[in-house]
A and B are shown apart, each in its own frame.
Chain A
Amino acid sequence: MNAIQTHFWAVRDYLAPVLRESKFKEHGRITPEEFVAAGDFLSYKFPTWSWSAGEPSKTREFLPKDKQYLISRGVPCLRRVSQIESAALGGKKGKGRAGGGVAGDEKMLSFAEGQDGVEGTGGEEDWLATHLDDQQQLEEVGEIADIPDNDPPAGAASLTPGEEDALASQVAGTSLSTAAGEDGDGDDAEVGDIPDMDDEDDDEDGLGGMGAGVVEHDDPATLAPPPSTAAANASTESASSSNNLLSVRTYDCLITYDKYYQTPRMWLIGYDESGSPLKPSEIFEDISSDYAQKTVTIEPFPHKSGLSTASVHPCKHASVMKKVIERMDQGVIEEQKRLRAGGGSSGGTPDEGVAGGAAVADKKKKKKW
């Protein structure tokens, strides 16, 4: 089903004409030239973003060869959305987000999805939701933050099938059984160490066996991994403890130009704490269930053959941008300035997580306005 749809999209994309005239103000859509200009500005202002050429065979001819898509590597995502959702603001479904989590970014880029009603009150709020939530959750922070990631997500009840999968595998992981099926190793079961007796793989030894024979003697000059606070000074100690409480995933954020929708399109490639790529089910842990597998789906990435990853479907992007433009016209510029300030700090010193990145991405569009 998905495959057919994907092919259909590919054909449609191929047939779609390249937008030549600027339609940004009228429709929120942009031309490739505008995309390049915006990307130039983005990468100039925020060097965490850079242009990438992608695979030569996948070059889109309407974009410069060396400016096929934008990438920002290693954007942190501190918590899973489920950790936040338990503490979310009651009435606003899906507004509780990881502090700067990918989820916030989803929302920011796709809040128009069936939410026009919400938008009346929440248009700008959506942009700032991560901040708002952060403040509201201040009181709860001590409690929430202590939940180690190994716990089954508290919001499990509202999980999508994909997330249930992940949950199952997490549970499986904590009980040291890796028989959780195809998607076997949960994030926290952490592939690495539990003998990976996955599927029909007869390698009983698994990874442990693969590393057999390698011994390193204790070395006092190597900083111990976070759990043990062997470090000599207090600062290291506190650092370690903060690491204990969070499992920081990182994301590579990519922005491509979608020819059919004539908008930028956001892609996410996730890594767990140890730097291993996340599976889709794990990526969806960072995306509010409102969007996971609806607005956010796994699609083939257009600039690499054979690689698929999570993407925010761009169908509502233009109308969202249009609304944004209208709002800005209505004198919300103050608000924008504030956001700008927020985006600014995230770009310079990337300390705002994925949402910071998204703010930047949004800023990029705003710049054209």
Chain B
Amino acid sequence: MSSPLPSSSSSTLLQFNPLPTTISPSFWHALTSLKLNHLRLSEDAIPVMGSYTVGRVVKDRRGGEKGRIVELGGSLSLLEEGLGGGAEAPAEGISVGAHFPTSSASSSSRLSVTVRGMLRNYNTAPQFTSADKNEIFSDLAQEILNDLLTSPDPLDAVTRFTVLAFADLKKYKYYHWAALPALIAQPNWQTSSPGWKSLQEEWTGKGEEEGEVSPRRMQSLAEAFKEHWQRYRGESEAGFCLVKVGSEACQVGMVRDFQTFFAGVPNEERVVLFIDPSATPSVPGWPLRNFLALLSVRFQVRQIRVICWRDELDDNAVGERSIIGNVFLPAEEGQSGSRVVKGDGSLPIAATQSDSARPVAIGWERNTQGKLAPKVADLGPLMDPRRLADQAV
């Protein structure tokens, strides 16, 4: 940490754990009635909301004492309450159910982050098939980059997603494909050795390099972050914050205040925190990817300490599963790839071959086989009255 740009030998490539989607039957049910009653044949994109929670781990109890730890990464769940509840409801009367942030999200005290996206529901399978997905994706990536650069609320763009769907209402089959575009950094972010460490260990353990260590610091961070999360719950803001680490107490700040909040704080001591849906040790979740992009394009961050927050806030053992690590953008070795050009400079974001203003992104959801293809939810057995009648009692 003393040298902001360690040599590549002491660092590893920072990887991100993709965020899969989980879509409940009731979401499709809500979409069905929305389509029948309001959308009808419209294929316009409609705003949807989703949320993700911290990843979890469960112990496989069949292993007894030595039970294996099974990771249960968080997933992006689309909630029917969010259908049409976005900021820019396209038409009157489209909202279904209550507005998301005030209803179900607030009744649960589980740590979750609300995210916004768009859903395009195609009328026919061929339309779904022939939709120019690459263009939709690339446009969204461009929009994300623009918002990261200029939007007053850039965190909204960090987690923006899109879902393409085709609802076969007669058969109660819902084809869908989600994409969470993440801008590709150029060069890629690196984790400095020794890599990710447990936050608790780092802060309340020996504390070699931290010098003064107080167990209260952990508590202080948890409290400050909890306050931050509760204030902004229902917004993407809740999932990300800045942390000023003192020897005893921690302060958290809003990401948009980066310059003022970290004024006078040396680069090496700047810490950011995000709610991490990944449960894989040493691999942070997908939202960090655009978050780092935001930090790098908007605040010229080249090195930062990151806390991947993985604990529920009500736990007594706060910080047990959260991890902390130092990430940096290595100095570019030659011209390894084209970067997005903006004004007279370039951003540390990979650009497409053809157009140096367009960012490269990645993030179509893969199916179970790891292939790029839509998923299908077959709800016939759960929703089709005819087939329900066939279920034996």
Measured CB to CB, the residues of A under 8 A from B are: 1-3, 5, 43, 47-48, 50-53, 55-56, 66, 73-74, 76, 78-79, 99-100, 130-131, 133-135, 137-138, 141, 144-145, 161-162, 182-185, 190-193, 196, 198-199, 201, 203, 205, 207-217, 219-225, 227-228, 231-233, 235-236, 239, 242-243, 246, 248, 250, 252, 269, 271-277, 279-281, 293, 297-298, 300, 304-309, 348-353
Provide a sorted-by-A list of 23 A–B residue pairs whose CB atoms are within 8 angstroms. A47-B109, A50-B107, A99-B62, A134-B61, A138-B62, A182-B380, A183-B381, A191-B375, A192-B369, A203-B125, A207-B175, A210-B128, A211-B133, A213-B134, A225-B366, A252-B24, A277-B378, A277-B379, A279-B378, A306-B29, A306-B383, A348-B312, A351-B56
- Contact status A233-B282, CB under 8 Å: yes
Most buried by A among B125, B282, B368, B387: B368
Taking a contact as CB atoms closer than 8 A, the residue among A55, A203, A228, A277 that contacts B97 in the complex is A55
Q: A76-B70, A207-B367 are in contact. List 4 more A-B contacts (CB 8 A).
A: A130-B61, A191-B376, A214-B372, A233-B195
Cβ-based interface call for B357 (8 A): no
Which residues of A have CB within 8 Å of B62?
78-79, 99, 133-134, 137-138, 141, 144-145
- Contact status A223-B15, CB under 8 Å: yes
- Closest residue on chain B to residue A52 by CB atoms: B104
**Given A56-B97, A223-B283, A349-B312, A277:B24 Cβ within 8 A:** yes
- Closest residue on chain A to residue B56 by CB atoms: A350
Which residues of B have CB within 8 Å of A144?
62
Cβ-based interface call for B199 (8 A): no
Q: Which of B23-74 contact A (CB under 8 A)?
A: 23-26, 29, 32, 53, 56-64, 68-72
Bound CA span A298–B387, Å = 11
User: Scoring B residues 109 to 141 as 1 if CB is less than 8 Å from chain A, else 0, what string do you get?
Assistant: 110000000000000011011001110010000
| Smallest CB-CB A-B distances: 7 pairs | A192-B367, A50-B108, A275-B22, A211-B373, A99-B62, A225-B370, A235-B281
**Given A221-B16, A239-B71, A252-B24, A192:B371 Cβ within 8 A:** yes
- Closest residue on chain B to residue A303 by CB atoms: B26
Which residues of A have CB within 8 Å of B171?
199, 201
Which residues of B have CB within 8 Å of A293?
391-393
Which residues of A have CB within 8 Å of B20?
274-275
**Given A222-B362, A223-B17, A304-B26, A275:B375 Cβ within 8 A:** yes
Q: In whole Å, how far is B85's beta carbon from the nearest beta carbon of chain A?
A: 14
**Given A191-B378, A193-B368, A222-B16, A246:B393 Cβ within 8 A:** no
- Closest residue on chain B to residue A100 by CB atoms: B61
**Given A221-B184, A279-B382, A231:B58 Cβ within 8 A:** no
Cβ-based interface call for B389 (8 A): yes
- Contact status B282-A279, CB under 8 Å: no
Which residues of B have CB within 8 Å of A191?
375-376, 378
Bound CA span A208–B376, Å = 11
- Contact status A47-B312, CB under 8 Å: yes
Taking a contact as CB atoms closer than 8 A, the residue among B12, B64, B110, B379 that contacts A233 in the complex is B12
- Closest residue on chain A to residue B59 by CB atoms: A351
Bound CA span A148–B353, Å = 42
- Contact status A221-B188, CB under 8 Å: yes
- Contact status B381-A281, CB under 8 Å: yes
Taking a contact as CB atoms closer than 8 A, the residue among A50, A222, A250, A279 that contacts B72 in the complex is A250
Which residues of A have CB within 8 Å of B137?
214
Bound CA span A216–B109, Å = 37
Cβ-based interface call for B189 (8 A): yes
Which residues of A have CB within 8 Å of B393?
1-2, 5, 293, 297
Cβ-based interface call for B326 (8 A): no
